[in-house]
Structures are given as C-alpha cells and as structure tokens.
Amino acid sequence: MRLTRRRFIGGAAAAAVAGGGIYELVDRLGSSPARPAVEPAGMPPEQHLLDLTTTHSEGVEVIVPPLHHAIVTAKLDVGDLRAAQTKLEDVLRDIDSTYPLTPAGLGVTVAWGIPYFDKYVPAQAKAHLPHDRRAQKQVLLPTRRFPSDPSTTILETNDLVVLLRSDRIEHIEAARKEIFGLPFLTVTSIRRGFAGGGFDGGRSLPKKMALAAGVPGADLIPDSAELFLGFTSTQKAGLGPGTIANHETLGYVDLRSGYFRNGTHMHLSHISEDLEAWYLNFDFAERVLTAFRPGMTDVRDGTQTVAQGPPQVSPESDLVRQFHKTGRFGHSASIQATSRLQQDTIGVDGTHYAKGTAIPQRADFNTLDNPFAFSIDPARDGVRKEPSAGVHFVVFNPSGDDFERNRLAMDGVLPGGTKLSVPPRNRAAGFNSVLTTTHRQNFLVPPRRHRSFPLAEL
C-alpha cells in the first residue's frame, strides 16, 4: 500500500509540491480564519497560552486552531551557558516584538527535556524543579512507553523543543530560521502540519491536504472534517480553560522555590493514523462509540462535532459498567476518568472550575510527515519520503504524572487501579487499533521569564 513518487507528484498539487514541499499547499488550499484585530496588551507569563477565537460547529462552541504548526527539536553544544541564554533570549524577544501573540502573528513555546537539565544544570534542577505532590514524583518524568505502544516506539532524548503556531506559514519559517540559526543549536527534527478549516461547511484543510498528497483513505475523510479521523477535537468545553494546566493551578504540584510558577508540562508524540482501517472497518456508529463511548446512540449519522462538556462526561463507574456490558470502551470516556475534574475545584488564583472541567490543553495537529519532515538521523527515525497520515500530538498538563494518568486510561488502566482488560491495540480499546505511536518525549515548559536556558543564571 505504498505510494509511489509518481503518484505523489502526479496530481493537481504537483507544482506546489515540487516547488517547496507539501505544506506550501496549506496556503493554497486554506484561507486564514477571521481573527480579532485587537492585539493583546501584554504577553502572559505562560508560554503555552495562545488566545484563540471560537466559532460554532453543529451547535457546539469550538476553538479555531491556528492553520500552521511546526515543531523543531534540537540538541545543544554549549560552552558558555549564560552567553547562550542571553543570545537565545535576545532572539526570542526580537520575535516577540515582530509578531503579536495571536494566530495572525505567532505563538512560540520553548520547552526543555531531561537531557538538558541533567547535563547542563543538574544541581540547580535538583533544587528547583517542581515536584508532583499527588504522585510523589518529579513533574518532569522520564519518557516511557504505554501498553498500546509498539516496542518500536522511539523514546527521544532531545535537549529542547520549540513549538511554533500561526495562520501565516512565513511567520513560522522566519522565526524557525532566526532561532535555529544560533550556532549552539543542532536541529534534530522538524515536524510540520495543519489543522482546521471546514467549520464554515466548506472542504477542510486536512481533507484537501490528504487528497493532494494521495494518502490511503484520503477519499474517505468527510469533506469538512477538522481532523483526518472525521471528528472535531477542539470543542471549547473539551479543552482545559485558562491557566488550569499550569503546574500550580490545581495544587497537584509543589513549586518548591517557585522558579517554574506559570510553567507546565508538555508531552510530544508522533502518531500514525490508518485512515483506511478507520473508515473501511468501522461504520459511523462504531466510529462514534470508539471515539466517544459505547451506548452513545443519539449522534445523528454524519455528525462531526459532538458535545464534550461536563454534562457529557462519563464517571468512571459508567465506564466500567459499559465495558462489562459491551466488552469495549470509548476513547473520550476512558480519558475523562482522569482528564476531567472529579469535583468542583478552586484554583490557586481563586478561579472556580466546575466538576467535569477538562484539565489538559491539547495543541495537536494533523501531519503528512512520515514521521518527520526532517530528521538528523533518518534511519533511526524511519523517515520516508512518501506522505503519511498522522498527528503530531502536543498536550500541556500540570505534571508528567497527570499526562501519564490520561494516557494509561486511554489503554484502559484507570487511576484507582481498575484495569479494563483489553489486549494492546485491540479494536475494543478506543482508537488504539488504528493508531501507532512512533516517537515520544516529555518536556518542561518554563514560564516566559525563564524560557531561555532555565536555571542557567543561578
């Protein structure tokens, strides 16, 4: 089922692809969503927050994601840590002054991996890295595989990652070149992708891009689907609001010195999606119960945006009961056991979060990378030229343990110790049978004031 090069460039998109890569098609095939012209008065202390507009899709309020995304990972070769810190911060401040912090401008998030803290600032890290008091573990955990991951999933060891988000690809490219022109950064991978479109009823960007690239199953994607798998995933009520994913907000984390206040945890993975298996083996009703939960019978055929607010949250007891009744569980329902607040909660800043509120803030986007647009080690990373449907999954949680709880629940391992016993990657376990995770890594996102070489100045 491999695509040939001839077929890839043989379609209407051939000229664009030959000219500068498949992602240039995003500009040709998509149009920028309407954005407010008002520039935020100041930058928030959090790096991971980007003020996004909302619209309505099939009666549900949804967040409109930026059209373009890029992720660049790197390793460091630094002699003078403080000089490097100054240089990186100068570049980031220059970018800040060039682009407003909006999708029309640019969102930049710099995060750091365990290898950086271990190699460059081990003593400071020991004293200042936040601690997850709920899990009794470090907030930044070693990257691990999960039960449904194949043994081939690569656990990466990058020093840092930069997430770039914008409706304008030229903003992303300019910032990427500026940041990674610094001599002490060696790029290890570049990952690109797109999301959105389609909320106005027209053909969405993922559908257009998949068709242009000729990936298997492209013709089966619903025309206006926000993402390849056909369902909207940016329901406002399904994403963590405001600063809920900050380390400190829900009280899960001991900030210790407070250096990382306004920071968060970021997990990055690449996941291949088998679109043909999804659309040819699962009928619409089964796609609904797989993506959401068994017993969800009130979803009209062809619906793409399913409400995911607190009223739709399944308690763990319902999840377990449904599993014993049907032998299967849905993706959303399994994760909700850990990703939603189990009771009304007051954040440290006094914000009231209702029971059922989502905690994670996802920033995932579809890709045709196979698995990356660039790798410094293409053999290790299994890079192929043929485009492939997938998702670069980015999620912000208060801690690494909080992410792991969600990811384990996706495999039927619930936080209270209950295990919904399904073989790994079985069709009974949500999306797992059509997803394959190729790469993973955990990162810490410092607050904006410490985004450049955190702890190096201490």
Question: Binding residues for another protein, per CB under 8 A?
Answer: 1-2, 214, 216-220, 276-277, 279-286, 326-328, 426-428
**Minimum CB–partner distance for residue 345 and another protein (Å):** 35
Query: Rounded to the nearest whole angstrom, what is the least distance from the CB of residue 216 to another protein in the complex?
Result: 6
Q: Which is nearer to another protein, 110 or 429 (CB)?
A: 429
Q: Please report how close the Cβ of residue 320 comes to another protein at its closest, in angstroms.
A: 16
Q: Letter for the amino acid at 92? A: L
Q: For residue 430, which of 271, 300, 309 has the smallest C-alpha distance?
A: 271
Kindly state the smallest distance separating residue 118's Cβ from another protein, in Å.
44
Q: How far is the CB of 211 from another protein (least distance, A)?
A: 10
CA angle, 109 then 114 then 119, to 5° = 115
Measured from the CB atom, is 217 or 360 closer to another protein?
A: 217
Of 322 and 339, which CB lies nearer to another protein in the complex structure?
Answer: 322
Q: Is 184 or 284 the residue whose CB approaches another protein more closely?
A: 284
Q: Which is nearer to another protein, 96 or 276 (CB)?
A: 276
Measured from the Cβ of residue 67, the count of other Cβ atoms closer than 10 Å reads 24
Q: In the complex, what is the shortest distance from the CB of residue 192 to another protein, in angstroms, rounded to a whole number?
A: 24
- Give min distance, CB of 282 to another protein, in A: 6
The span from the CA of 121 to the CA of 116, in Å, is 7
Q: How far is the CB of 1 from another protein (least distance, A)?
A: 5
CB of 297 to another protein, least distance (A): 14
Q: Which is nearer to another protein, 259 or 278 (CB)?
A: 278
Nearer to another protein, 1 or 379 (CB): 1
CA angle 388, 271, 436 (to 5 degrees): 95
CB of 394 to another protein, least distance (A): 30
- The residue (of 282 and 431) whose beta carbon lies closer to another protein is 282
Residue 44: how many other CB atoms lie within 10 Å? 16
Using alpha carbons, list the distances in angstroms from residue 150 to 114, 144, 155, 435. Answer: 23, 12, 12, 10
Nearer to another protein, 32 or 426 (CB): 426
Nearer to another protein, 178 or 276 (CB): 276
